[in-house]
Every structure is written in structure tokens, then in C-alpha cells.
Amino acid sequence: MLPSRAMTGKAVGRSVPRREADAKLRGQARYVGDVTMPGMLHGATVRSQVARGRLRAIHFGPEVRWDEYVVVTAADIIAAGGVNTVALIVDHDQPALVGIGDIIAHREEPVVLLAHPDPHALEPARRAIRLEVEPLPAVLTLDDALAARTVVYGEDNVIKSYGIDKGDVDAAFAAAEVVSEGVYETGAQEQLYIENNGMIGALEGDVVTVWGSMQCPYYVQKGLMKCFGVGPERARVVQLETGGGFGGKEEYPSILGIHVALLARKAGRPVRILYDRGEDMAATTKRHPSRTRVRSAARRDGTLTALDIDFVLDGGAYATLSQVVLSRGTIHAAGPYSVANVRVRGRAMATSTPPHGAFRGFGAPQSIFALERHLDEVAHKLGLTPEALRRKNFVTKGGELATGQLVRDDIDLGALLGSALALADWERKRTDIAAERARSGAPLRRRGLGLATFLHGTGFTGSGEKYLASVVGVEGMADGRVRVLASSTEIGQGTQTVFAQIAADALGVDMADVEVATPDTRDVPNSGPTVASRTCTIVGKLVETAAHTLRARLVAAGLLPADGGGDLRAAVQRHLATLGPLRALAQYEAPPYVKWDEGAFRGDAYGAYSWGVYVAEVEVDMLTYEARVLDFVAAQEVGRVIHPVLATGQIEGGVAQGIGWALYENVVWRDGVMSNNRMTDYIMPTSEDIPPIRVLFAEAPYPYGPFGAKGIGELPMDGPAPAILNAIEDALGVSIRRIPATPEVIMDAVEGAGASNGDGAGAGAGVAGAGVAGAA
């Protein structure tokens, strides 16, 4: 892979009009709910409704005329010679449908699929099906999973574990001047894309085809191929306009895609399943709840000498993506600091809830929350400001992260922190707040300031990108324009616009000369999943490389001048007329310095990192214990910014989700399932809850990203929660170690009532006072 020149073209670096926007603004964009096909049936899913058990029988009630319905069970998969599984990372994990005699591992397992021409006929039929289940003991909390008295996965409920070991942690603790310790917890979070999951399946000849809302067409294809026992030429997946994903449409569409395809095969007609909000919230994946114990050793001057971190995720009933979420969370647990001795133990545990999955940040927000909350406690104990403690420990260019990776990014965290604090008016506000506190003894509202500093790895973790070996194509079209071929999906971030910008500048043409193909596995190569902040930087780099190759080919054919310029359209047309098809492919190659040892978990975990300093100003109402964010500053270094408006929009949107996770979004578990699975009861931020968000980009071009770009999408999820909770501690003088910090949680902390309860899994140690374990 060749480094990019950080040059300015006509498109890159400018907020060109978004290509995807016109149809969306006119109400003409076609999402899965807007698409019907001739003869299409409507489908529905019958689910297990017990947390754990063994399915003994399925009874179809006599009150329904079953011959009107298409009914699919696990037996249909087997009878057709397929494999009853949803292949994702591992081939055999969760079944596509629970069969008779099989284990039910959570309450929302699909058991029977139904289809009917009239969507209103589905609900009565669903109710007429009775499942006979032999109950089995379930594991409903992380504590129960860890205790492993009931084992629901493997030998000890551990889905996966990872470890990082750097230096001599025990010796450092033995010699420590100050030791601190805390346990920090984060709750599940629902992605809450406004468009629910939905998919249409049909048989086109002998090709199983699905269309729908998704992030990763090739994941869905993999699932179809395994379950139907067919090759790639007989499984086609097409993305439709997708109304948000945030990770929530990374893996679940594989299940739903299989379901609509199974129904369509049996019906001989297209079938569409659209989840309603209640089903989508209860049955599909959420952010992994977490519990992290952080122990730190420090010198009195604030130098951190050791970190010992135990990071636990609740993975739910199946492995799904938990191991990759865990690996990212484990690697990010030690933050952007240079600490000589680090031990991180990461474990993903199985419980009897629907599997938790991808959500923006992918494990990193959880472990970063713990460390950044912990560091504020350490600062207080040492009598340092939070910013001084961080400055003391920031990793610098050339410094070493926990995995032994040397920082190559041109990053100056001290400077980034300085810019963020200046933009937030930190010093003046701190003086004002101190004066306010001096004036009134028991004010009705208390204000506080908090910050968090963090990093986020660009692209897949470790060897992930090497295994994906993503491919992008650029081809010449009959009218002389070029077309970018990639399976990376537009889910709101502006993928098509950004790819067109990159390709146009790499070819030296107008954006109007570039088309970006719809992700359709029949037409585009596998550029990998749309996850991990990889689309712009990793896939965008491949777009750049493929475009360069295409241009070079035209130059070699004597159709374009070697020194730039020339008429690309004419050259493409001449090539097609005289030399035949014109298509250039680029395949991922790691930057030459990247070395990663998966076994030891050491080396270059990512090709590069994006870096952030986020600052929150918060106010707590002392009567209602409601916390509100008054002001927010998000400063980051993400390499070259390709499209300022889109990039800013990514940051603002991520910050808003982070605010929701920190304060409002409370998944309430009952018997292993989300019980508040409605928008009325699960509160995400509205336009009245989000403060002004001021976004600042420091741009240090990354040589191995397109025109210098690094990853953006996930980074903004990492900073808000710890910054906000740190501000709450500043306001109240008590440390809250658990999110969401709902009024109940804050009240418990202030009034010292201990942990609030009633949340089932994920509740636990909860709130602790400001005190941390004493000095050694």
C-alpha cells in the first residue's frame, strides 16, 4: 500500500452537496417499508417467550385456518438439505430457528415463521401457536454468569477472554505511593435507529435473494449460503435505503435475511418482514452491558505507574460478535496514556438474554468510561485537577500504548486538550462555579465541569483487516464516467458522497463523472462490513488506489497524458471501444509497519488511532436529581477531514447518543428481556435535551488513509459519558460509577442509599461514594 499525498483536490476537504440527499428530502428514497413486490406476502415471527428451556412441541390451534398460511419451522431447513445456523464469525452459533428437542437460550428466539397475504391475519395466527417447553434454569445477571453455578455456555459461561500484559504490574503496585480502585458499570443501550429492521426475500430462478435494511451485505450473504447450502452465485443480497444502523444492523439482518428467504422459498412468492418497534427493541441486539474494575498505582505527582483492569461484558445467549467487541474494549481499556505496567483481563460472559451486539464504539466506550471516571477519582485523591493528571500521563508521538504499539500519529494531546478547554471556556467557568458555590450553601441547581480524553482505533482490530482482505473496484462505463464498486453501505454517514469525492480527486475529474454503485453482492466486490469506522479510511483508501490504477491503465494505453489532466470520459470510451472492459481492483494491504501478535495480544492493534478530548458542562437539579448537559465541546484529531459538514454531523450525532447513554437510556430487564421496549418508556434525547455541541477538528493527515483521513464514526461515542459523569462528580462532590445516571441513581449517590435496584442484569455494585481505596 502506498502512502497518500495529503493534497487538496477539488472535492476532498469541501462540503460538497450530498448525493444521497435529494431523494431523502423529497420523501422519494425507498426504504424496505416502501418497497412491495408482485404477489408479496407479509411475514411474522413466533418467538420462544421463555428465558431458557427445551422445545418439546409446537401446537397449532384449531381456531386458525392454517392452509391459508405459509408456515416455516426448523424442520424445513433440514428437509431442504440446509444447515440450521446463522453463520457470522463462527459457523455454528445461534440457530436460524429453534427446532423440536433443541435448547431455547433466550426469550426472543425465533421458532416459527408465518406468512400471509394480509398483514392483519398474522397476529391471530401468532397467538394461536402454543410452544410446549421444558423449563431449564436461566442465567439472568452478570453475577450469576460469573458465579457459574448455572452454566449456559461452554464450561464456565465464558464466551471469550483476552489479556494484555505489559511490564511488571505486581511489582509496580508493591512499590506504589498511591493505590486507587473502583468498579464502574454501564447499562445496555438500544441503537434505536428510527427505521426498524426489515427485509424482503424472493427466489429469482434458483437464486435466493434478499433486499433490505442492513450495514453488511456480505455478512447476510454468508448466512444465506450456509443455511441454504448454496454457493455465492446462488445467494444475492441487495441493500435498500437504510434508516440508521449504528451497529444495530450489523448482525441481525443475517437472521432476518434467512427468515424472509426461508418463507419465500416455501411460499414461492416474495415475502417481507417488517419488525414493529416493540419487536425490534426486545429481540434485536443492544450495546453490551459492562462491569470494569480499575486498580491504579500512581506517584504523588500524578504519574501513573500501573493499571490493573478487569473488564467484563455481558454477551447474552450466543457468541455472535462478542469476541470482537471484547477485543476492542480490552485494547482501549488503558486509554491514551503511557503507563509502564499494564494488565487488562477482558471476558465476555454468556447470560440468558438476547445476544448483545455491535453498537457504535464496539466495546471501547465501556472500558473508556471506566478508566476516565477512575482517573478523575485519582486526581481528586492526589489534589490534582483532572486535566493536570491527564497531561502528566498522555502518550506522545513515539510513545508506547498498552499493547506495545508505538504511536506513529502526529498527535499532541496536550495541545488538543488546551484547544478543547479554551473552546469550552473552562477556566472562566471554573472560577464562576467556584464563586457560585461560595455564595450559596445549598443551591437548587449545581453546575459542574468534566472532561474525558481518549483514543479510538481505526478499522478492524488486530489482524481483522488482513483477514477481511477487502476489495474495491472502479470501472469505466459506456458514457465515459466511472463507477465505484464497493459493498460498503450508506446508512446516513454519506458513504456515496465521500467515495465520489475521493475517486474524483484521485482521477482528477469532476464528481459528476463518478457514480457509486448500489451495494448488491451480484455487482460489487466485498469491501467488508460497514462498521469499525473503516468505511472512509480503509475502504476509501481502496477507492483511491483503484482510481489511481484505473488512471494509470489509461495512461499506459496512451489515452491520457502521464502528467495529469486529459479528457477522462473520452479516454474511458476509447478504451471500451478499442481495448475492451476497463476495471481496476484494489485489495487491502496493511501499512508496512503493522505487526500484530493475536496470541500475545501485542503489537499494532490498529494502523492508526483517532484522538479526542471532550468537555461537558452539566447542571443537576437538586429537587428532582435530573442532570442536564448545558454545553459540550468535542475536539478531535481524525486525520484529514474529507467532508466537513458530514464529519461534523457524525460527531454531533455520536455525542447525542453518548448523552443518551450517560443520562437517559435505561434498558429495564425483566426475566431476561427488555421490558420497556417502547419509545414511550425508553427515553432517547430529544431536541430539547441536547446542548450546543461545538466540534473542533485538529487535522494531522494519516499517510495510509485516503488523502490522509482516519476513522470518525465511532470516536464520538467514547467521550461523552465519562465527561458528563465527571462533571456530575464535580457538581455534587460524589462519584457516580454507573450509567445511565438517571435521577434515581443520582439520588442514591447523593443521599447515600447505596445501589438502586430493580434493573436486573447489569445492576450491582452501582454507586459508590467519592472515597476510593486508600493510599498504600
Partner 1 sequence: MSKLEFSVNGRACTVEVHPMKRLLDVVRDDLGLHGAKEGCGEGECGACAVEVDGRLVVSCLVPVGQCAGARVRTVEGLAPDAATLSKVQQAFLQYGGAQCGICTPGMLMAATALLDKVPRPSEADVRTALAGNLCRCTGYMKIFEAVVRALESA
Query: Would you count residue 244 as binding partner 1 (CB under 8 A)?
Result: yes
* Partner touching 729 among ligand FES, partner 1, none, CB below 5 to 8 Å by kind: none
Q: Are 610 and 712 in contact (CB under 8 A)?
A: yes
Query: Would you count residue 577 as binding ligand FES (CB under 6 A)?
Result: no
What is the smallest separation between the CB atom of 400 and partner 1, expressed in angstroms? Answer: 35
Q: CB-wise, 325 or 659, nearer to partner 1?
A: 659
In the sheet that 471-476 helps form, which strands lie side by side, from edge to edge? 514-516, 482-485, 471-476, 583-587
Tell me the site size for ligand FES, rule CB under 6 A.
3
* Partner touching 301 among ligand FES, partner 1, none, CB below 5 to 8 Å by kind: none
- What does the per-residue mask of binding to partner 1 show for 485-514, with x meaning CB under 8 A? ------xxxx--------------------
Give the containing element (helix H, strand E) for 220.
Answer: helix 217-228
The C-alpha atoms of residue 356 and residue 350 are separated, in whole angstroms, by 10
Rg over CA atoms, the chain: 26
The single-letter code of the amino acid at 230 is V
What is the smallest separation between the CB atom of 247 and partner 1, expressed in angstroms? Answer: 12
What is the smallest separation between the CB atom of 692 and partner 1, expressed in angstroms? Answer: 7
Site for ligand FES in 476-505 (CB under 6 A): 492
Residues in Cβ contact with 572 at an 8 Å cutoff, skipping those fewer than 6 apart: 476, 477, 480, 481, 482, 554, 582
Site for ligand FES in 218-257 (CB under 6 A): 244
The single-letter code of the amino acid at 399 is G
Nearest-10 Cα torsion for 512, 515, 518, 519? -130
Query: Would you count residue 424 as binding partner 1 (CB under 8 A)?
Result: no
Q: CB-wise, 16 or 179, nearer to partner 1?
A: 16
81: three-class secondary structure by DSSP = coil
The C-alpha atoms of residue 514 and residue 670 are separated, in whole angstroms, by 51
Q: CB-wise, 246 or 611, nearer to ligand FES?
A: 246
What is the smallest separation between the CB atom of 80 and ligand FES, expressed in angstroms? Answer: 37
Query: Would you count residue 250 as binding partner 1 (CB under 8 A)?
Result: no
The C-alpha atoms of residue 97 and residue 100 are separated, in whole angstroms, by 10
* Partner touching 201 among ligand FES, partner 1, none, CB below 5 to 8 Å by kind: none
What is the smallest separation between the CB atom of 303 and partner 1, expressed in angstroms? Answer: 37
What is the smallest separation between the CB atom of 34 and partner 1, expressed in angstroms? Answer: 4
Nine-digit cell string for 438: 461560595
The C-alpha atoms of residue 190 and residue 657 are separated, in whole angstroms, by 10
Site for partner 1 in 264-303 (CB under 8 A): 276-277
Nine-digit cell string for 680: 414511550
Q: Are 186 and 661 in contact (CB under 8 A)?
A: yes
Nearest to 450 by CA among 284, 595, 305, 633: 633
Buried b (16+ CB within 10 A) or exposed e, 128-148: bbebebeebebbbbbebbbeb
The single-letter code of the amino acid at 393 is N
Tell me the site size for partner 1, rule CB under 8 A.
55
Q: CB-wise, 192 or 258, nearer to partner 1?
A: 192
The C-alpha atoms of residue 400 and residue 391 are separated, in whole angstroms, by 16
What is the smallest separation between the CB atom of 244 and ligand FES, expressed in angstroms? Answer: 5
Name which position in 25, 78, 415, 776 contacts partner 1 (CB under 8 A). 25
What is the smallest separation between the CB atom of 31 and partner 1, expressed in angstroms? Answer: 7
Contacts with partner 1 by CB under 8 A lie at 15, 17-18, 20-31, 33-34, 191-196, 241-246, 276-277, 491-494, 645-646, 648-649, 652-657, 678-680, 684, 686-688, 690, 692-693
Contacts with ligand FES by CB under 6 A lie at 194, 244, 492
